[in-house]
Amino acid sequence: MTYRLGLTGSIGMGKSTTAQMFRDLGVPVWDADAAVHRLYQGAAVGPVGMLCPDAVQDGAIDRAALKDWIARDPAALGKLEAVVHPLVAADRAEFIASARAPFVVLDIPLLFETGADVDGVLVVTAPAEVQRARVLARPGMDAAQFERILARQMPDAEKRARADFVIETLDMDSTRAAVQNIVEKLGGGAGA
Protein backbone atom coordinates (compact mmCIF):
# COMPACT_ATOMS: atom_id res chain seq x y z
CA MET A 1 0.00 0.00 0.00
CA THR A 2 1.21 3.49 -0.87
CA TYR A 3 2.02 5.73 2.09
CA ARG A 4 0.03 8.98 1.91
CA LEU A 5 1.90 12.01 3.27
CA GLY A 6 -0.38 14.99 3.73
CA LEU A 7 1.35 18.32 3.09
CA THR A 8 -0.30 21.31 4.72
CA GLY A 9 0.36 24.68 6.28
CA SER A 10 -1.33 28.02 6.52
CA ILE A 11 -1.35 30.53 3.68
CA GLY A 12 2.11 31.86 2.82
CA MET A 13 4.03 29.09 4.55
CA GLY A 14 5.60 27.54 1.42
CA LYS A 15 3.35 24.59 0.49
CA SER A 16 3.67 25.06 -3.27
CA THR A 17 7.45 25.45 -3.19
CA THR A 18 7.83 22.43 -0.90
CA ALA A 19 5.49 20.33 -3.07
CA GLN A 20 7.63 21.18 -6.11
CA MET A 21 10.74 20.00 -4.25
CA PHE A 22 9.07 16.61 -3.74
CA ARG A 23 8.17 16.50 -7.46
CA ASP A 24 11.77 17.35 -8.34
CA LEU A 25 12.85 14.25 -6.38
CA GLY A 26 10.42 12.03 -8.31
CA VAL A 27 7.68 11.83 -5.69
CA PRO A 28 4.12 11.94 -7.10
CA VAL A 29 2.26 14.98 -5.74
CA TRP A 30 -1.50 15.54 -5.80
CA ASP A 31 -2.61 19.16 -5.44
CA ALA A 32 -6.08 19.79 -3.96
CA ASP A 33 -6.32 23.31 -5.42
CA ALA A 34 -5.42 22.05 -8.90
CA ALA A 35 -8.00 19.27 -8.55
CA VAL A 36 -10.71 21.82 -7.74
CA HIS A 37 -9.69 23.88 -10.78
CA ARG A 38 -9.98 20.77 -12.99
CA LEU A 39 -13.32 19.85 -11.49
CA TYR A 40 -14.64 23.39 -12.03
CA GLN A 41 -13.99 22.83 -15.74
CA GLY A 42 -15.46 19.33 -15.80
CA ALA A 43 -17.24 17.03 -13.36
CA ALA A 44 -18.38 19.77 -10.96
CA VAL A 45 -19.99 22.00 -13.59
CA GLY A 46 -23.35 20.18 -13.70
CA PRO A 47 -23.88 19.69 -9.96
CA VAL A 48 -22.64 23.18 -9.02
CA GLY A 49 -24.72 24.66 -11.83
CA MET A 50 -27.81 23.09 -10.31
CA LEU A 51 -27.06 24.89 -7.04
CA CYS A 52 -26.07 28.21 -8.61
CA PRO A 53 -26.90 28.51 -12.34
CA ASP A 54 -25.21 31.94 -12.50
CA ALA A 55 -21.88 30.28 -11.68
CA VAL A 56 -21.71 28.46 -15.02
CA GLN A 57 -20.07 30.56 -17.71
CA ASP A 58 -18.90 29.10 -21.04
CA GLY A 59 -19.20 25.53 -19.76
CA ALA A 60 -17.07 26.08 -16.66
CA ILE A 61 -17.52 27.38 -13.13
CA ASP A 62 -16.92 31.10 -12.70
CA ARG A 63 -15.21 31.48 -9.32
CA ALA A 64 -16.22 35.15 -9.00
CA ALA A 65 -19.88 34.19 -9.39
CA LEU A 66 -19.43 31.52 -6.71
CA LYS A 67 -17.89 34.11 -4.36
CA ASP A 68 -20.87 36.40 -4.94
CA TRP A 69 -23.32 33.58 -4.21
CA ILE A 70 -21.46 32.60 -1.04
CA ALA A 71 -21.44 36.24 0.11
CA ARG A 72 -25.24 36.52 -0.44
CA ASP A 73 -26.32 33.16 0.98
CA PRO A 74 -24.99 31.96 4.37
CA ALA A 75 -25.85 28.35 3.48
CA ALA A 76 -24.12 28.46 0.09
CA LEU A 77 -20.65 27.37 1.21
CA GLY A 78 -22.00 24.27 2.94
CA LYS A 79 -24.04 23.35 -0.13
CA LEU A 80 -21.03 23.87 -2.40
CA GLU A 81 -18.74 21.80 -0.18
CA ALA A 82 -21.31 18.98 -0.04
CA VAL A 83 -21.03 18.72 -3.84
CA VAL A 84 -17.35 19.45 -4.37
CA HIS A 85 -15.70 17.58 -1.47
CA PRO A 86 -16.82 14.10 -2.66
CA LEU A 87 -15.58 14.91 -6.19
CA VAL A 88 -12.23 16.04 -4.79
CA ALA A 89 -12.00 12.88 -2.65
CA ALA A 90 -12.68 10.72 -5.73
CA ASP A 91 -9.99 12.58 -7.72
CA ARG A 92 -7.52 12.06 -4.86
CA ALA A 93 -8.38 8.34 -4.58
CA GLU A 94 -7.86 7.89 -8.32
CA PHE A 95 -4.45 9.60 -8.07
CA ILE A 96 -3.38 7.36 -5.17
CA ALA A 97 -4.60 4.20 -6.92
CA SER A 98 -2.61 5.05 -10.05
CA ALA A 99 0.61 5.98 -8.20
CA ARG A 100 3.49 3.60 -8.60
CA ALA A 101 5.60 4.81 -5.70
CA PRO A 102 6.33 3.90 -2.07
CA PHE A 103 4.69 7.16 -1.04
CA VAL A 104 2.80 10.10 -2.46
CA VAL A 105 2.41 13.67 -1.25
CA LEU A 106 -1.11 15.04 -0.97
CA ASP A 107 -0.93 18.86 -0.99
CA ILE A 108 -4.07 19.82 0.96
CA PRO A 109 -4.17 23.38 2.35
CA LEU A 110 -7.11 22.59 4.67
CA LEU A 111 -6.03 19.05 5.55
CA PHE A 112 -6.93 19.25 9.25
CA GLU A 113 -10.02 21.35 8.63
CA THR A 114 -11.46 18.87 6.10
CA GLY A 115 -10.28 15.68 7.83
CA ALA A 116 -8.57 14.16 4.79
CA ASP A 117 -7.40 10.57 5.31
CA VAL A 118 -3.58 10.38 5.30
CA ASP A 119 -0.92 8.19 6.91
CA GLY A 120 1.31 11.06 8.05
CA VAL A 121 1.33 14.84 8.05
CA LEU A 122 4.02 17.32 7.02
CA VAL A 123 3.39 20.90 8.13
CA VAL A 124 5.36 23.72 6.53
CA THR A 125 5.78 26.78 8.68
CA ALA A 126 7.49 30.15 8.95
CA PRO A 127 7.46 32.96 11.51
CA ALA A 128 4.28 35.08 11.43
CA GLU A 129 6.09 38.16 10.10
CA VAL A 130 7.59 36.15 7.22
CA GLN A 131 4.19 34.64 6.44
CA ARG A 132 2.51 38.06 6.44
CA ALA A 133 5.16 39.58 4.17
CA ARG A 134 4.89 36.67 1.69
CA VAL A 135 1.11 36.86 1.51
CA LEU A 136 0.87 40.65 1.26
CA ALA A 137 3.39 40.55 -1.62
CA ARG A 138 0.88 38.56 -3.70
CA PRO A 139 -1.00 40.48 -6.38
CA GLY A 140 -4.46 41.61 -5.26
CA MET A 141 -3.92 40.65 -1.61
CA ASP A 142 -4.55 43.08 1.23
CA ALA A 143 -4.36 42.84 5.01
CA ALA A 144 -8.12 42.41 5.47
CA GLN A 145 -8.29 39.54 2.97
CA PHE A 146 -5.25 37.91 4.61
CA GLU A 147 -6.93 38.10 8.04
CA ARG A 148 -10.17 36.57 6.66
CA ILE A 149 -8.21 33.65 5.19
CA LEU A 150 -6.27 33.11 8.42
CA ALA A 151 -9.52 33.12 10.42
CA ARG A 152 -10.74 30.08 8.44
CA GLN A 153 -7.52 28.13 9.02
CA MET A 154 -6.38 26.20 12.07
CA PRO A 155 -3.64 28.13 13.91
CA ASP A 156 -0.09 27.30 12.84
CA ALA A 157 0.97 26.20 16.34
CA GLU A 158 -1.87 23.68 16.47
CA LYS A 159 -0.97 22.30 13.03
CA ARG A 160 2.67 21.89 14.07
CA ALA A 161 1.61 20.10 17.27
CA ARG A 162 -0.40 17.57 15.24
CA ALA A 163 2.27 16.98 12.56
CA ASP A 164 4.54 13.99 12.04
CA PHE A 165 7.05 16.19 10.21
CA VAL A 166 7.60 19.97 10.37
CA ILE A 167 9.71 22.00 7.94
CA GLU A 168 10.46 25.66 8.56
CA THR A 169 10.62 27.26 5.12
CA LEU A 170 12.97 30.19 5.74
CA ASP A 171 15.42 29.42 2.93
CA MET A 172 15.46 27.15 -0.09
CA ASP A 173 18.57 25.13 0.84
CA SER A 174 17.42 24.06 4.31
CA THR A 175 13.90 23.37 3.01
CA ARG A 176 15.29 21.24 0.17
CA ALA A 177 17.52 19.33 2.64
CA ALA A 178 14.53 18.66 4.93
CA VAL A 179 12.47 17.41 1.96
CA GLN A 180 15.36 15.14 0.90
CA ASN A 181 15.53 13.77 4.44
CA ILE A 182 11.80 12.91 4.41
CA VAL A 183 12.10 11.26 0.98
CA GLU A 184 14.99 9.13 2.24
CA LYS A 185 13.10 8.22 5.42
CA LEU A 186 9.95 7.20 3.52
CA GLY A 187 11.91 5.40 0.78
CA GLY A 188 10.60 7.24 -2.25
CA GLY A 189 11.65 9.47 -5.07
CA ALA A 190 13.46 8.90 -8.33
CA GLY A 191 16.40 7.18 -6.64
CA ALA A 192 14.26 4.57 -4.87
Same domain, yes or no: 118 and 166:
yes
pLDDT at res. 133: 96
Contact 12, 134 (CB under 8 A): yes
Same domain, yes or no: 69 and 23:
no
Percentage of the chain beyond pLDDT 90 is 86
Same domain, yes or no: 10 and 54:
no
Query: Which SS3 state, helix, strand or coil, does residue 96 take?
Result: helix
Question: Looking at the 3D structure of the chain, how many domains does it have?
Answer: 2
Same domain, yes or no: 91 and 127:
no
pLDDT band at 192 (very low <50, low <70, confident <90, very high): very low
pTM comes to 0.89
Residue 188 has pLDDT above 80, yes or no: no
Same domain, yes or no: 17 and 37:
no
Q: Give 152: exposed, middle or buried? Use CB within 10 Å, 0-12, 13-18, 19+.
A: exposed
pLDDT at res. 189: 59
Condensed to tens digits (0 to 9), the pLDDT of residues 144-178 reads 999 988 888 899 999 999 999 999 999 999 999 99
Q: What is the mean pLDDT of residues 111-124?
A: 93
Residue ending a domain, among 98, 131, 150, is 98
pLDDT at res. 191: 43
Domain extent at residue 57: 32-98
Same domain, yes or no: 19 and 50:
no
Return d(Cα 40, Cα 48) in angstroms, integer. Answer: 9
CATH code, domain carrying 169: 3.40.50.300
